[in-house]
Structure 1
Amino acid sequence: MVLMGLLLCLLAGISLFVGASPLHPGALLSDPQALQLLAVSRIPRTAAVLLTGAAMAAAGVIMQLLVRNKFVEPGTTGTNEAAMLGLLAVTLLTPAMPLFGKMLAASASALAGTALFILLARRIPPERPLLIPLAGLVYGGVLMACASFIAIQSDLLQYLGIWMSGEFSGILAGRYELLWLAGGLALLSYFAADQFTIAGLGRAVSLNLGLRYGQVLGFGIVTVSLVSALVIVTVGMLPFVGLVVPNLVSRIMGDNLGASLPVVAGTGAGLLLLCDILGRLLRYPYEIPAGTVFGLFGAAVFLYMLLGRRAHG
């Protein structure tokens, strides 16, 4: 944990001084504009990336325990697509609604979409684990097709494209503070980590051990839905963060969420921040969205997990 903290501090320090506008540590002592750039743009952006990575990784591992499948995350269960449907609906019906109201609408839609997917997942035989992410991708594709049709008919396709592209270039002070709520939800889930671990054993085992399975399931669904909605409203969709990070950590630390959740959150924050830094450097002074960079990395790891599981079987 100490090493992880040092690495996060190192990456955060690098992030503060990387960007299209040159910024050097020495300039902070003599240039007021450098201090303004740091306070208005660089610090909020770095904080937003860290909060997003930690919250999405925590939401992913909670989703995997609730569904009892290592190959799911909000991006492969229709949660993100349902949140975008809600966001699209509120943009059409009440475009002047404040950001917090849009977040609530997206959260409610994501909550309904996630609950429906869990009902669908329970009908899939547990001995066919790869069918669950496949069903989730199909389910998410149907929701995305509905959102795309509505966006085309209402001339809002560009908004849909923005929500699908997870990037942090537009993050400024005053435009990312909702992500602190997502970080708070990830922190709150730590206090229920042991209950999520037991819930991951299944409903029958959980009830026999005295766990209030319905309440834990409901809290997990609400947490995942809120985190997904907050991230989409603020920065857009970020694929594979909640899928890859929990699997990488569980291969080292196992499935005890009480012990592994801080490492999952820290790893998610660090990897996403690293991808954001790479996106700023690869085509400097232009920028590649962090979601695109992490998507390439996550897709490679996901394919390795699928092929490795098949070879092992």
Structure 2
Amino acid sequence: MISESENHSQLEIGGRSLKRYLLPLFFLLLVITSLFIGVQSIPLTDIFNLSETQKLVLWSTRIPRTVSLVIAGATASVCGLIMQHLTQNKFVSPTTAGTADSARLGILIAMIFFPNSSSIMRSFVAFIFAFIGTMVFVQLINRLPQKSNVMVPLIGMMFGNIIGSIVTFFAYQLEIIQNMSSWLQGNFSTITRNGYELIYLSVPLLIIASLYAYQFTLAGMGKDIATSVGMNYTMIQMGGLIIVSLASSVLLVTVGNLPFLGIVIPNLVSLYAGDQMKKTLWPTALCGSLFLIGCDILSRTIIPPYEVPVSLIVGIIGSLAFIGLLVRGTKSHA
């Protein structure tokens, strides 16, 4: 006969297994839902008997859109996770470190001097400016006498707003502000086949980040600790910033800006899984994709048949969560 303690142990193991598979199952459910929600009705029951129009919509827009949501959510969240480790601050991400705004400046330069350039060319120029802007931000926070959890992201947002103001000024003077604003707004309604494949460049960057997850974790403990174990701190920091800058540039050119995603998701995952990046990287990527798909489904269903830009939904939910995290962080260090 099975004793009560053995029965309790089996139930506990079964509960852990259920929790482990619950998130992937929920993710799969949202992916399927995303494929069949939209103005063009595609009932799930007719999946094996689709009309030509339904097949065209499914393969030309719905599948590319869902794939972009998965990759963009994962990439933005992992970029935030890397930035938080490299800066040793939980409230830093590409959107609060001037990375995204610097990439916008690069895109403006590309639109002015290379008006007929391809998406790859614009991404390359945006990457250069994003990397330079991120390096300037890192140098700024390194000169701070006290690196409080609140002060670092505030400086990053001020730095980003200065760059954003410069971009807005010149875009207004050159009468391209409307074109640039609409193009860089986080919106997946324009994602179609043969127009989104650049985002696949983010996938190898995620794989490289996972291979160096242990080194990023050590870098997050500080330069002295990282150096004491024989790690080249400067090279790891540079490598991480290159990954973040390149991935952020690709996302900005492909799908636009996704505010607060890189802050909220890594923080929520770390609350339950800890700060060991090797363990939290892929859960963070999965939760980022899940969150973005959920926001996109909401943007498509809130005022049908029209769509709300997904960046608006992400911004509203993300800003509320960001305020909650700030309050929690302030109380914990009080």
Give the TM bin, normalised by the shorter chain. Answer: over 0.9
After superposition, residues 65-214 of structure 1 pair within 5 angstroms as 65-214=85-234
Matched, 1:3 2:22: yes
Match of 2:271? 251
Distance in structure 2 (CA, Å) of the matches to 1:218 and 1:294: 29
8 Å contact 2:85–2:220 — kept in the other structure?
yes
* Matched residue count: 313
Distance in structure 2 (CA, Å) of the matches to 1:172 and 1:234: 11
Q: 2:39 aligns with which of 14, 20, 27?
A: 20
Shift of 1:232: 0.6
Shift of 1:309: 2.4
Q: Deviation string for 1:126-171 (max 9, x for gaps)? A: 4522111110011001000000011011111013312442110000
8 Å contact 1:239–1:295 — kept in the other structure?
yes
SS at match of 1:302: helix
Matched, 1:263 2:283: yes
Residue type at the aligned position of 2:158: V
After TM superposition, the structure 1 stretch with the greater mean CA deviation from structure 2, 126-135 or 276-285, is 126-135
8 Å contact 1:54–1:183 — kept in the other structure?
no
Q: Percent identity?
A: 34
Residue type at the aligned position of 1:210: G
Shift of 1:251: 0.7
TM-score with structure 2 length normalisation? 0.91
8 Å contact 1:84–1:163 — kept in the other structure?
no
Match of 1:222? 242
Q: 2:303 aligns with which of 267, 278, 283?
A: 283
After superposition, residues 28-67 of structure 1 pair within 5 angstroms as 28=47, 29-67=49-87
Which protein is bigger by CA-based radius of gyration?
2
Superposition RMSD in Å? 1.2
Residue type at the aligned position of 1:102: R
Distance in structure 1 (CA, Å) of the matches to 2:171 and 2:249: 18
Matched, 1:239 2:277: no
TM-score with structure 1 length normalisation? 0.97
SS at match of 1:75: coil
Q: Deviation string for 1:92-117 (max 9, x for gaps)? A: 10111111111101111101111110
Distance in structure 1 (CA, Å) of the matches to 2:25 and 2:200: 22
Q: Provide runs of 4+ in structure 1 moved above 4 Å.
A: none
Show structure 1 runs of 5+ residues with no match: none
Distance in structure 1 (CA, Å) of the matches to 2:198 and 2:226: 34
8 Å contact 1:167–1:235 — kept in the other structure?
yes
